[in-house]
Structure 1
Amino acid sequence: MRLPLDPKIVEETIFDALIAAREKYGDKEILEDQDRKPLTYTGLIRAAFVLGRKIAAMTQTSERVGILLPSSMGTVVTFYGLHAHGRVPVMINFTAGERNIKAALAAAGVKKVLTAKRFIQQAKLEELIEQIEGVAEIVWLDDVRKTIGLQDKLYGLMAGMMPKRFRVPLKPSDPGVVLFTSGSFGAPKGVVLSQWNLVSNCRQVAQHIDLDPDWVMFNPLPTFHCFGLTGGVLLPLLQGLKAFQYPSPLHAKQITELLPEVKASILFATDTFLNQYARVAGPDDFDTLKFVVAGAERVRDETHHLFNTRFHGLKLLEGYGASEAAPVVAVNHPDRNRPGSVGQIMPGMEWKLEPVPGIPDGGRLYLRGPNVMEGYLSPDDPTSIEPLEGGWHDTGDIVDLDEDGYITILGRVKRFAKIGGEMVSLTAVEGLASAVWPEARHAVVAIADARKGEKLVLVTDRKDADVARLAEWARSHGAPELAVPKKIMRVAEVPVLGTGKTDYVAIQQMAELEKAA
């Protein structure tokens, strides 16, 4: 099936889409961060040309260049600077650990990594930089900026006036960015998104939800996460909204205090962070928000309840995406919000569901569309891309799709256990634990069991969690006994990735180690 994309939308590159946005919305303030020195469209374009030319002098056309920076104006300028001069940004997840980062650099063929001394010092990443230096050259943007002179500024002035004459011409099908999947279920994969993949996803969202150019988008998510890059940077810039960049989603109190100060209209984040913000926010901190968008992980009932009761019914819209789809696949609409679903599928996308043996409801979701990647980086050859068969991306998600195009996530293929011959959704079991202890964080994994094939293990930060309480709730609510974990591991903190998503790799290892002990 397919929902049509507006035929007036034309294919364009990331930089040309920025130039077109300036023409459409005027030379307004469009980008800001905590330093509170906003840039206009022209200011951003000039800065991108000036910095980009400096980076171009030390790199080759089409070279993949690493960006290891938090969400900030500097990151956006660097990203567009690479595009202006025909280089390909590779967004590095600085929370992924030495092994994954080195693997990512090797997989993408990155020879140079752009970063900043202030960030490395504040984030205490000096040791990580030492480890990276063995496989790639570190380029300090602080030092690069010191070399910018009068001639560079005159160049920027001219380029800002006639950007299409100065920028390296690229095609919409050319690479726009290399990102790496979060690795929550294994080693990160290199995702190559084209220029048009990214731009089309912004156009899809804008066709689905009418965005007012007078609004302010507040982005606390890292740009190494596709949600942070497309939703928090490209979407607002290309649709005329000011994009406010904040360097860390962990600063709950600072973020909630900043929201009314910068007159934020839309907040993007994950359930983990939104739950924290809702707990520390004052009654007026969310007053300027039109709605909040949650993605990357399931939104807990408790988070919905917090927003409904504490913030005058502020709409929390759940969405669904994948790095491979640039990333927005579906999102609820402010006027058509169906809590429990992840909203309607984006216009221009095709989908199909394939049945999964042992799982009676829904099917395995496959996607194809203008926002779906060409393929993964080959792990053996950085210059090679492994294309998708027929252009279809296998999401690995089991979903239900109704006649209105609303998607309900039932679980991941990898997130089902086979217990006594029956398929049990680990996501549903987590929902059971959340119903019993809504304020706590839970994760469920399966380990081998000699008697029933697999056994469920609940990892939770609830100190008094016990099997009897879970079994009692399951009985009184008609949940099957198979869905009750027979083992509980109580931890001080449930491991999460830098994006806020549950780190199932680490949790699986914890459960296996506990079993072996």
Structure 2
Amino acid sequence: MRKIPPELVQRYEAAGWWTPQGVGQLLAAGLDAAPDSPFRVHSEVRPYDGTFRDVERVARRLAAGLRARGVGPGDRIAFQLPNWMEAAAVFWASAFLGAVVVPVVHFYGRKELGYILRAVEPKVFVTAERFGRMEHQPDLYAGVPVVGVVGRDFDALLADEPLSGTAPVDPAREVLIAFTSGTTRDPKGVLHSHRTLAFETRQLAERYPPEWGRLLTAAPVGHFIGMVNAFLVPVLAGNPVNLLDVWDPAKALELMLSDGLVTGGGTAYFVTSLLDHPAFTPDHLRYMRYAGLGGGTIPSVVVDRLADLGIKAFRSYGSTEHPSVTASPHTAAEHLRTRTDGKALPGVEIRLAEDGEILSRGPDLCLGYTDAALTEQAFDGDGWYRTGDIGVLDEDGYLTITGRKADFIIRGGENISAPEVEEALLAMDGVAEAAVVAVPDARLGERAAAVVRVRAGSRMPTLDIMRAHLERTGLARQKWPEQLHEVEDFPRTASGKIQKHLVRRDVAARA
């Protein structure tokens, strides 16, 4: 873990941003204050209709069952589940036990999941027998001591009597390892403590407009922000939990009119897919007063369209490492809400390096990575995090992201490591070199395009051949390039390195 300067610790504690309270205590207090709040899963596969009290009992029975199997404070509990009740039960049980939870997005394939399990060596792993393309793969987690499969033997992990109380914890210790893709070939394990996660939860809860309404969470709970919005923020506020396990615009629109549910925003795609759906009507605009946008590039055409419909959009900026860096309040002037990424949030500091790279630090900044070498590269001794993003600050402190030093693409909020995909492409027959770059997309913000140079005498692969190859490698489908281009050679630096900014420009010109 990175070293946090003592003066920062003192400042955060004095301001009340860091407290002695663990995440388990935070949860227990919220659940006790609103036990009858509804907890619903809107699913064709595994629907659920209960209350906070019902789900807490499952979580506490699971916690007791795991404790009987030798699981305790500091042990790692991983899960790969869709937005189901059992995902909440695993997360809440981990918090009550003082364990470290490791959520894995349900669409990660064998390659990513295998790496994560090897990296964290969990004592428990919970998954589903099947969901979409995800399926039970016992060979991947044969070495995990305790495995539970929802739809098969998950209930066998539950004790008859629930665990009482919450294990005492050191709030400075890790409570969550969230994996995210980026510039490295393998997912990066981001460590968050009780202090950083609790502060982020409180900050998010305070940022929602009070008149927003009852939120529907469709973002995967295997993602950091999806998990926090699904299982922590509503509990803190005493609001109902409504989960959707597959993003289905028709279902979301139906739930708006039938249950009065609203979507919180997220990436531009979650909003545009509603507006573009044939079932969308002017009646739905009553439930679309606000759109909090973030998680990647926000095309100006999207925010202009929202404004024309009377939807008040506001942008924010953050990452798994530093979840909430800047945001525009929903009360800010339109040009600030929609053309900048906002101002530094309470407790957060930002500054720009000489090359324009954004450096940040604050009470919700992570502890570092599971890979000590990555931690050394990304953080300095004064507590600053090198984001890899390029930006500009105006005279009033509003930040606008203008580019990216890091070599990854953000497709609909999902980070795609360009080197990881390039490595997979280089294993294809006949491919001599490959470059993967971002191309603009009006719905998703960005999507991946692959540019390849084939060896002399080899034929250029088709998009279908490339997809079949990536399927065999086990790479998650969300990472597959959606365009494929051929070049005789790449633009290069004097040292022979591919100039990706020129590749990106050329691909955009072709489009």
Q: TM-score, normalised by structure 2?
A: 0.72
Taking the aligned partners of 1:278 and 1:258, their CA distance within structure 2 comes to 15
- Of residues 100-109 and 397-406 in structure 1, the stretch that sits farther from structure 2 once superposed is 397-406
Q: Pick one of 16, 19, 28 that aligns with 1:19.
A: 28
Q: How many residues align?
A: 427
Taking the aligned partners of 1:173 and 1:442, their CA distance within structure 2 comes to 36
- Residue in 2 that maps onto 1:29: 37
Taking the aligned partners of 2:445 and 2:15, their CA distance within structure 1 comes to 44
**Which amino acid is the alignment partner of residue 271 of structure 1?**
A
Structure 1 unaligned segments of length 5 or more: list them: 357-362, 417-425, 450-460, 462-490
Taking the aligned partners of 1:244 and 1:339, their CA distance within structure 2 comes to 28
- Residue in 1 that maps onto 2:400: 408
Taking the aligned partners of 2:445 and 2:204, their CA distance within structure 1 comes to 31
Contact 1:66 1:92 in 2 (8 A): yes
- Residue in 2 that maps onto 1:370: 363
Q: What whole-Å deviation, never above 9, does each CA across 1:251-282 have from its counterpart, x for those lacking one?
A: 22222222332322442432233222221151
User: Where in structure 2 are the equivalents of 1:420-431 lying within 5 Å?
Assistant: 430=439
TM-aligned CA deviation for residue 37 of structure 1: 4.5
- Residue in 1 that maps onto 2:473: none
TM-aligned CA deviation for residue 354 of structure 1: 0.4
TM-aligned CA deviation for residue 371 of structure 1: 0.5
SS of corresponding position for 2:216 = strand
**Which amino acid is the alignment partner of residue 266 of structure 2?**
A
Contact 2:448 2:483 in 1 (8 A): no
Taking the aligned partners of 1:354 and 1:110, their CA distance within structure 2 comes to 38
- Residue in 1 that maps onto 2:222: 224
- Residue in 2 that maps onto 1:167: 166
In the alignment, does 2:121 pair up with 1:109? yes
In the alignment, does 2:121 pair up with 1:125? no
Contact 1:331 1:342 in 2 (8 A): yes
Structure 2 unaligned segments of length 5 or more: list them: 1-7, 409-434, 454-462, 471-475, 491-511
Taking the aligned partners of 1:396 and 1:515, their CA distance within structure 2 comes to 28
- Residue in 2 that maps onto 1:423: none
TM-aligned CA deviation for residue 90 of structure 1: 0.8
SS of corresponding position for 2:325 = strand
- Residue in 2 that maps onto 1:274: 271
**Which amino acid is the alignment partner of residue 15 of structure 1?**
G
Say if 1:319 and 1:442 are closer, same or farther in 2 by CA, change over 3 A: closer
TM-aligned CA deviation for residue 242 of structure 1: 1.8
- Residue in 2 that maps onto 1:234: 232
TM-aligned CA deviation for residue 209 of structure 1: 4.5
Contact 1:278 1:306 in 2 (8 A): no
TM-aligned CA deviation for residue 112 of structure 1: 3.2
**Which amino acid is the alignment partner of residue 116 of structure 1?**
A
Contact 1:307 1:314 in 2 (8 A): yes
- Residue in 2 that maps onto 1:482: none
TM-aligned CA deviation for residue 139 of structure 1: 1.7
Taking the aligned partners of 1:94 and 1:429, their CA distance within structure 2 comes to 24
- Residue in 2 that maps onto 1:330: 326
User: Where in structure 2 are the equivalents of 1:83-482 lying within 5 Å?
Assistant: 83-117=95-129, 120=130, 122-126=131-135, 129-134=137-142, 136=144, 138-144=147-153, 146-147=155-156, 152=160, 155-156=161-162, 166-183=165-182, 186-211=185-210, 215-249=213-247, 251-280=248-277, 281-283=279-281, 284-309=283-308, 312-325=309-322, 327-336=323-332, 337=334, 338-356=337-355, 363-378=356-371, 388-390=379-381, 391-414=383-406, 430=439, 443=447
Taking the aligned partners of 2:48 and 2:299, their CA distance within structure 1 comes to 36
Contact 1:378 1:386 in 2 (8 A): no
Taking the aligned partners of 1:388 and 1:173, their CA distance within structure 2 comes to 18
TM-aligned CA deviation for residue 412 of structure 1: 0.7
Contact 1:184 1:501 in 2 (8 A): no
Contact 1:208 1:347 in 2 (8 A): no
Contact 2:326 2:342 in 1 (8 A): yes
Say if 1:321 and 1:96 are closer, same or farther in 2 by CA, change over 3 A: same
Q: Pick one of 63, 71, 76 that aligns with 1:64.
A: 76
Contact 1:297 1:501 in 2 (8 A): no
TM-aligned CA deviation for residue 306 of structure 1: 3.8
TM-aligned CA deviation for residue 297 of structure 1: 1.2
**Which amino acid is the alignment partner of residue 406 of structure 1?**
Y
TM-aligned CA deviation for residue 304 of structure 1: 2.3
* Superposition RMSD in Å: 4.1
Taking the aligned partners of 2:400 and 2:41, their CA distance within structure 1 comes to 35
TM-aligned CA deviation for residue 387 of structure 1: 8.9
Say if 1:448 and 1:72 are closer, same or farther in 2 by CA, change over 3 A: closer
TM-aligned CA deviation for residue 193 of structure 1: 0.8
Say if 1:146 and 1:329 are closer, same or farther in 2 by CA, change over 3 A: same
Q: Percent identity?
A: 22
Say if 1:142 and 1:342 are closer, same or farther in 2 by CA, change over 3 A: same
Taking the aligned partners of 2:116 and 2:351, their CA distance within structure 1 comes to 31
Contact 1:72 1:245 in 2 (8 A): yes
TM-aligned CA deviation for residue 241 of structure 1: 2.2
Taking the aligned partners of 1:187 and 1:343, their CA distance within structure 2 comes to 31
Q: TM-score, normalised by structure 1?
A: 0.71
TM-aligned CA deviation for residue 328 of structure 1: 2.3
SS of corresponding position for 2:401 = strand
**Which amino acid is the alignment partner of residue 17 of structure 1?**
L
Say if 1:441 and 1:180 are closer, same or farther in 2 by CA, change over 3 A: closer
TM-aligned CA deviation for residue 181 of structure 1: 1.0
TM-aligned CA deviation for residue 510 of structure 1: 4.9
TM-aligned CA deviation for residue 333 of structure 1: 1.8
Taking the aligned partners of 1:40 and 1:440, their CA distance within structure 2 comes to 34
Taking the aligned partners of 1:353 and 1:230, their CA distance within structure 2 comes to 29
SS of corresponding position for 2:369 = strand
**Which amino acid is the alignment partner of residue 394 of structure 1?**
R
SS of corresponding position for 1:328 = coil
Q: What whole-Å deviation, never above 9, does each CA across 1:199-246 have from its counterpart, x for those lacking one?
A: 10122234444546x932211011121121123332222122222111
- Of residues 90-99 and 346-355 in structure 1, the stretch that sits farther from structure 2 once superposed is 90-99
Taking the aligned partners of 1:442 and 1:242, their CA distance within structure 2 comes to 33
Taking the aligned partners of 2:154 and 2:108, their CA distance within structure 1 comes to 28
Contact 2:205 2:236 in 1 (8 A): no
